[in-house]
């Protein structure tokens, strides 16, 4: 029976979950896969944490060199997070001939080009299923199961923290700051939630997923990003009246004009499968030219769901000697031949706070017409704010991003409009 030695870098939530799965299922892997996977070493500054998991003291490494020089270690699992020292440690392991499994989306997004060079040079495997969407096997689907397709588009809820917050705001009518505090208490949001709520986490993941889907490097710097910090319950409630749910969506499209990639809050019809993905669950909706629509759904984070993805990569690595690398030239920047669409098409939801007098609608309508924007639905609420304004809500037909940007600027300059209170894209 083949023996496989594993080292784990970091015993936090995910590292601890990975260790638990490997030890509890060791006999099952022997029986089903004919491999004996044993954790031979860990790198963890807090040795008490390792001892509490039942790890023998002699298997607690003092530094990365001990991992790299350990002949019993075949695969190194990196679950430290962040760029450094994770990047240096992963490169050290690859140059020492150890295959690497990582859950680090920021590291892989920003430096996969360097990691892949090291992996190829030293004939090592480099696996990263757990870097995107937790336990949902979307990367394996793109690499293997859907490779017979030209992927036309992908759209997903790929950040559990923001989905939890928006779900609670919608269900309970609580404001953003209140729900964020609750999410932090429950461990769904970090003490500093910027990476999640401002869309960075989803942007890193979309960079990885869209690169795989469209077979070309999509740097995260090419992705339009907008977070949820300015979302108000008022707009979620108005959206419900129009039949929409609000989600932070990661969207990638590969069309005739080029590739568009964006992360932002979006209204999506209640009839769409993604509208029912709530709380901390994630899902990715993929459209291929042959398979048509496929949706992958499940836990997007957590010790065991993410550990499941990591262990899946460990088993795949241990049972496949012909390592698979990316299908495109993996450089730091995008290929000069890759065209990106900035002025993308979408429908839009707009809420204006306007003075309640005749002529206001006509003036707004004239601006829309000048900016080539057609209105699909419009409503005026009777509730008057303290400043005497009333809300006007518009849903547009599909138009261009630049058209809406121009219209918002012109409307903001109208003395009859106190404020353009919200602009939210609508997925058609």
The DSSP code sequence of 315-341 is HHHHH-SS----SS---SS--TT--B-
Q: Are residues 148 and 213 in the same domain?
A: yes
- The predicted pLDDT at position 416 comes to 77
Would residue 332 count as lying in a domain?
A: no
Distance CA 326, CA 344 (A): 28
Would residue 396 count as lying in a domain?
A: yes
Name which of 418, 425, 419, 422 is nearest 403 in CA terms: 425
Distance CA 314, CA 316 (A): 5
Mean pLDDT on 43-60: 94
- The predicted pLDDT at position 386 comes to 61
Q: Are residues 45 and 162 in the same domain?
A: no
Q: pLDDT digits over 195-213, tens only?
A: 999 999 999 999 999 999 9
- The predicted pLDDT at position 202 comes to 98
Q: Are residues 91 and 69 in the same domain?
A: yes
| pLDDT over threshold 90, residue 137 | yes
Q: Are residues 270 and 219 in the same domain?
A: yes
Q: pLDDT digits over 290-325, tens only?
A: 999 999 999 988 889 999 999 999 999 999 989 989
Would residue 92 count as lying in a domain?
A: yes
Q: Are residues 109 and 220 in the same domain?
A: no
Last residue of a domain, one of 267, 299, 331: 299
Q: Are residues 116 and 192 in the same domain?
A: no
Residues in the chain: 428
Q: Are residues 193 and 158 in the same domain?
A: yes
- The predicted pLDDT at position 414 comes to 87
Q: Are residues 268 and 383 in the same domain?
A: no
DSSP 3-state of 297: strand
Last residue of a domain, one of 87, 104, 131: 131
- The predicted pLDDT at position 222 comes to 97
Distance CA 14, CA 10 (A): 8
CATH code (residue 55): 3.40.50.720
Distance CA 76, CA 68 (A): 9
Distance CA 149, CA 3 (A): 36
Residue range(s) defining the domain that contains residue 71: 2-131
Mean pLDDT on 20-33: 96
Mean pLDDT on 382-398: 83
Name which of 389, 310, 393, 391 is nearest 356 in CA terms: 389
Mean pLDDT on 82-106: 97
DSSP state of 145: I
Task: Report the chain's mean pLDDT, rounded to a whole number.
Answer: 94
Q: Are residues 224 and 120 in the same domain?
A: no
Which residues are annotated as catalytic?
205
- CB 384: neighbour CB atoms within 10 A? 11
Q: Are residues 279 and 184 in the same domain?
A: yes
CATH code (residue 414): 3.30.70.260
- The predicted pLDDT at position 418 comes to 72
Strands 60-61 and 151-157: unpaired
Q: Are residues 150 and 285 in the same domain?
A: yes
Q: Are residues 205 and 62 in the same domain?
A: no
| pLDDT over threshold 70, residue 60 | yes
Q: Is the dihedral of CA 364, 366, 368, 371 positive or negative?
A: negative
- The predicted pLDDT at position 105 comes to 97
Report how many domains make up the chain: 3
Last residue of a domain, one of 65, 97, 131: 131
First to last CA, the chain: 54
pTM across the whole model: 0.95
Would residue 136 count as lying in a domain?
A: no
- CB 210: neighbour CB atoms within 10 A? 27
| pLDDT over threshold 80, residue 379 | yes
- The predicted pLDDT at position 187 comes to 82
Residue 111 pLDDT class (50, 70, 90 cuts): very high
């Amino acid at each position: 029976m083949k023996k496989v030695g594993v080292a784990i870098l970091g015993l936090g939530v995910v590292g601890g979950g990975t260790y638990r799965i490997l030890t509890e299922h060791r006999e099952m892997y022997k029986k089903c896969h004919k491999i004996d996977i044993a954790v031979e070493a860990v790198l963890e500054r807090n040795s008490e944490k390792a001892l509490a998991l039942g790890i023998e003291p002699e298997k607690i490494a003092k530094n990365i060199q001990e991992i790299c020089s350990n002949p019993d270690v075949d695969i190194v699992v990196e679950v430290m997070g962040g760029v450094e020292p994770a990047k240096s440690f992963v490169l050290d392991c690859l140059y020492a001939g150890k295959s690497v499994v990582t859950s680090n989306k920021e590291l892989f997004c920003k430096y996969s080009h360097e990691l892949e060079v090291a992996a190829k040079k030293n004939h090592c495997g480099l696996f990263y299923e757990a870097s995107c969407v937790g336990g949902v096997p979307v990367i394996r689907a793109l690499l293997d199961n859907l490779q017979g397709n030209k992927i036309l588009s992908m759209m997903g809820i790929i950040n559990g923290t923001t989905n939890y917050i928006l779900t609670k705001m919608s269900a309970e009518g609580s404001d953003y700051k209140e729900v964020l505090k609750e999410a932090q208490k429950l461990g769904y949001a970090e003490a500093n939630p910027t990476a999640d709520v401002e869309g960075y986490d989803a942007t890193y993941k979309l960079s990885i997923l869209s690169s795989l889907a469209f077979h070309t490097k999509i740097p995260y710097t090419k992705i339009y990003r907008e977070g949820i910090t300015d979302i108000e319950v008022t707009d979620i409630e108005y959206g419900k009246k129009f039949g929409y749910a609000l989600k932070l969506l990661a969207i990638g499209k590969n069309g005739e004009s080029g590739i568009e990639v964006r992360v932002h809050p979006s209204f999506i019809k209640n009839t769409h499968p993604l509208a029912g993905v709530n709380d901390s669950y994630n899902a990715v909706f993929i459209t291929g030219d042959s398979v048509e629509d496929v949706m992958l759904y499940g836990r997007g984070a957590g010790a065991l769901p993410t550990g499941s993805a990591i262990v899946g990569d460990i088993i795949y690595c241990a049972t496949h000697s012909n390592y698979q690398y990316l299908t495109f030239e993996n450089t730091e920047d995008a290929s000069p031949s890759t065209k990106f669409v900035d002025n993308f098409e979408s429908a839009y939801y707009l809420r204006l706070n306007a003075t309640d007098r005749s002529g206001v609608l006509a003036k707004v309508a004239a601006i829309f017409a000048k900016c080539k924007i057609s209105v699909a639905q419009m409503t005026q609420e009777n509730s008057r704010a303290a400043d005497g304004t009333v809300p006007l809500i518009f849903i547009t037909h599909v138009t261009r991003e630049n058209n809406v940007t121009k219209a918002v600027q012109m409307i903001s300059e109208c003395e009859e409009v106190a404020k353009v209170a919200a602009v939210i894209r609508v997925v058609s």
